[in-house]
Amino acid sequence: MTDQLPCPNLYAGHDAGHYTLPDDVLKARDTHQAAAALPFPKPPRNSWETVGEVAQATADALRDGTKLPDLDQIEQARKAERIYQDALDMSDQVLTITRQRVDAALRTHSLPLLTAHLRPALDETWKTYRDAYRTLVEHGQTEPRHLLAAPAKVRKASDTCDLMAARYEAIALARGDMARSLHIRCEADPSGKYMLIRNYHELHVTRWVNARTPWHGMSTRRFLDYMASHAGQIWLPTPDEQAQAVDAEAELGNPMKRAASF
C-alpha cells in the first residue's frame, strides 16, 4: 500500500492531480500495490489436530478390531502447513522486492522529480495564486469571509486561491518527503530556510536562529497571501541552487564583502 512506501505524500499529491510523476515511478508503485493485493491462501488445519484424530481413530480400531486409519493423513496435513508457510514467505519477499524497486525508481528520478514535475507545478500554482490574489487586492478585500456578497469574479478569485493553496500544500509535503526519505536536501541549509522561499533573508532579516518568522503559525492561504503581498519568491530549488541562496545570504550579511563589492 502507498502509505507503506517511501514518499507517501509525493504519491498522494499525484493521485490528487496536483502534478505528474515519471512513468517508472508510478509503475513501481502500482506493481507494489498489486503485490499487496495478492490473496493469501486459507490457513490449513493444524497438523497436530490431525495427529490427535488419527491417534483416536487408531485406538478405536484396535479396540473394535477394524482397519487401522491411513497414517498418510498426517503427512498430508504437514505438507499443507509447509505449502501455506512457503506462500507467506514468498509473499513477504515479493513485497520486499517491489518496495525496493519503488525506492530505486524514486532515487533514480530524484532530481527530475524536482525539476521536471514538482517545479513546473509549483511555478504554475504560484503564478495562478498571485493573479487571483491581485484581483482580491484590487477589490479591496482579501478575507474570504468578507467576500460572500462580492462580484462573481472576485469570489472566483478567492476560490482559486483556496485551490492553489491546497495544491501548494501538496507540493510542499511532497518536497518534504523527498528530503526525509530520499535525502534530497541541502547540507548548507540544514533548517531548510531556502527550500521553498528564495528570498527568505529579505523577508526575515535576522541573525537569531530561533527568531520566529512573520508568517509563523499561519494557515497555508494566509502564508501565501503574506508572500504575495511582500514580494516573496516561492520556488523549488535543487540542493545546489539552495546552497547558492545560502551563499548569497552570507554575502549580504558581510559588510566587508559588500564594501568591497565581492
- 244 pLDDT above the threshold of 90: yes
Residue 197: strand pairing partners: 234
What is the average pLDDT across 221-228?
97
Are 195 and 171 in contact by the 8 Å Cβ rule? The answer is: no
- Tell me the pTM: 0.84
Asked which of 44-53, 79-88, 120-129, 146-155 is least confident by mean pLDDT, the reply is 146-155
Report the chain's C-alpha Rg in angstroms: 30
Are 156 and 174 in contact by the 8 Å Cβ rule? The answer is: no
The 10s digit of each residue's pLDDT in 57-109 is 999 999 999 999 999 999 999 999 999 999 999 999 999 999 999 999 999 99
What is the average pLDDT across 118-123?
98
Domain residue spans of the chain = 23-108, 109-259
Of 48, 43, 33, the residue nearest 99 (C-alpha): 33
Q: Which three cell numbers stand for residue 185?
A: 536536501
The 10s digit of each residue's pLDDT in 25-49 is 999 999 999 999 998 888 998 999 9
Residues counted in the chain: 262
Q: How much is the pLDDT for 259?
A: 42
Cβ count within 10 A of residue 194: 24
